[in-house]
Structure 1
Amino acid sequence: MQLRVPVSDGDVWAEDCPGDNPPAVLLHPGWGDSDIWKPVMQRLRRRVRTIRYDVRGYGRSPSPSVPFTQLGDLRAVLDHLAVPPAVVVGHSGGGGTAISLALAEPSRVRALVLLAPGLADYPWPEEDPYFVQFAALLSAGDREGIMRLGLQTWAPAGHHPDVEAQVSSATTAFFAEGDLLRPDPPALNRLEHIDVPSVVVTAELDHPMVTACAHTIATRITGCQEIAAAGSDHMLPLRVPDLIAGLILQHKP
């Protein structure tokens, strides 16, 4: 079922697919939209209820018109669809949103599956060449340059059409989102308070600073499992959907 979920001064596109077992809520990365989950959802079809949505400005969701937070919109989706405690699967920046929910409302989270996760309050190295190039390209409005940088940085394992479509969608979203996204509450120094089964998946070919952040998260969440996806880059749902579906299915009642 595809629908529009009301959020503050707008709505977001969402899809709720029926299935058994605890539901899985899929949170897409900054470099992609909710279509990145299609290979994983194909493997979960009818076996797990899956919920996905496009963040404001991404995919089929309208651009934001007022300041908003990722956590606030996730809560709106969960409330609108009356989602019981779920396996929350977050990729990259979506992993940060999943962590924010686990800290703010732990009763809503049955387990965390975090794919190359990032946190806004992690001490990212601002001098990293990626950040320097991205800021310059965004300021210049150079969409083709951002596309090239995205593919080079996040998809070194190969640029097949599904990967290119995700990077293209994200490039459009960066301009649609503007400066209206507000950060969720700081989480880095509260990770030890997470008390649900958790796993972090890192990618062998990912940008080193992302892997360092993911490793820090895995180390600080008590009992968190860490898995390395050999041969994969940052686009994990497209590269290792069998692995991800298997991790979700581990949480059957």
Structure 2
Amino acid sequence: MEMRVPVGRGELWAEHLAGPGVPVVLLHPGVGDSRVWDPVMPRLEGRHRVVRYDVRGYGRSAPPTGEFSLLDDLVSVLDQLGLEQVVLVGSSMGGDTALGLALQDPARVRSLVLLAPGVSGFPWPEEPEIEAEYDVLANKRDIDGLVQFGLRLWAAAGADEAAVAQLEAAAPAWLEQEKYMRKDQPVYDRLGELQLPSVVMVGDKDRPILAAVAGAAAARIPGCEFIWIPGADHLPSLRSPDLVAETILRMAI
């Protein structure tokens, strides 16, 4: 069932599938919208209550018109749907939001499945050439150029129709979010506080620095499982939906 969920001074598009199991909430990456979960959804349907939504400015959610926080919006979605405890599945940007809630309100998160998670506070190396290229494209509002930039960085497994569609959905949001998105508290130095079942997954074709971030996060989270995804890049739910869905179902028992 599709719905509109009020959050702060805006609203988000969301989809809610009924099911008997523990609620599973899917958080999309910054390089795509909630359609990145399309190959995974049928594998979860009927087994669990499943929720996915588009972050402000992505997919079917309206662009932001004022300051907002990804973590605050996640809490609003859970509150509106009456979800008291959930399995959080976060990809890239969504992974950082999932970690933020697990640290802020541990009782609300039953387990974590993190796909190439963003990890705020990680000591990221400077990448001046990449940053300069992005700035030029963003200043020109060159959406086609940003899509090609994104495919080169995050779609090493192939520029197929699904990957291109995700980058085409994401690039306009990059330009709109910068003005309004309030950064949530960094999580990297607090990962050792987590006490819940967790798994980190990353593709063996993802950028080495992103694989390093994922590995460092897994090493800091007590008892965290680490899984390499053969042949996957920064879009593992598109590249390996069976393995991703199997892992979610295992963590949602």
Q: Quick check: TM above 0.5?
A: yes
User: How far, CA to CA, are the matches of 1:59 and 1:179 in structure 2?
Assistant: 18
Equivalent residue pairs, number: 253
RMSD between superposed Cα atoms in Å: 1.2
Residue 247 of structure 1: how far off its partner (Å)? 1.0
Residues 111 and 252, structure 2, Cα contact 8 Å, conserved in 1: no
Assess, with a 3 A threshold, how the Cα gap between structure 1 residues 111 and 55 changes in structure 2: closer, same or farther. Answer: same
2:11 counterpart of 1:5:
no
Residue 38 of structure 1: how far off its partner (Å)? 0.8
Q: Once structures 1 and 2 are overlaid, which stretch shifts more, 174-183 or 33-42?
A: 174-183
User: How far, CA to CA, are the matches of 1:219 and 1:63 in structure 2?
Assistant: 36
Residues 100 and 185, structure 1, Cα contact 8 Å, conserved in 2: yes
Residue 175 of structure 1: how far off its partner (Å)? 2.2
Residues 4 and 12, structure 1, Cα contact 8 Å, conserved in 2: yes
Query: 1:214 is matched with which residue?
Result: 214
Map of 1:177-196 to 2, 5 A cutoff? 177-196=177-196
User: How far, CA to CA, are the matches of 1:178 and 1:224 in structure 2?
Assistant: 32
Query: 2:223 is matched with which residue?
Result: 223
Q: What do residues 37-68 of structure 1 show as CA deviations (whole Å, max 9, x unaligned)?
A: 01110111111111000000000101111111
Query: 2:126 is matched with which residue?
Result: 126
Residue 180 of structure 1: how far off its partner (Å)? 0.6
Query: 2:54 is matched with which residue?
Result: 54
Identity %: 46
Residues 130 and 153, structure 1, Cα contact 8 Å, conserved in 2: no
TM-score by length of 1: 0.97
Assess, with a 3 A threshold, how the Cα gap between structure 1 residues 202 and 128 changes in structure 2: closer, same or farther. Answer: farther
User: How far, CA to CA, are the matches of 1:34 and 1:10 in structure 2?
Assistant: 18
User: How far, CA to CA, are the matches of 1:25 and 1:132 in structure 2?
Assistant: 35
Query: 2:170 is matched with which residue?
Result: 170
User: How far, CA to CA, are the matches of 1:96 and 1:76 in structure 2?
Assistant: 17
Match for 2:38: what amino acid? K
Unaligned runs of 5+ in 1: none
User: How far, CA to CA, are the matches of 2:111 and 2:234 in structure 1?
Assistant: 22
Map of 1:67-82 to 2, 5 A cutoff? 67-82=67-82
Segments ≥4 residues shifted beyond 3 Å: none
Q: What do residues 79-98 of structure 1 show as CA deviations (whole Å, max 9, x unaligned)?
A: 00011311100000110000
Residue 128 of structure 1: how far off its partner (Å)? 5.1
SS in 2 for 1:165: helix
User: How far, CA to CA, are the matches of 2:176 and 2:59 in structure 1?
Assistant: 11
Match for 1:106: what amino acid? P
User: How far, CA to CA, are the matches of 2:47 and 2:135 in structure 1?
Assistant: 42
Residues 197 and 251, structure 2, Cα contact 8 Å, conserved in 1: no
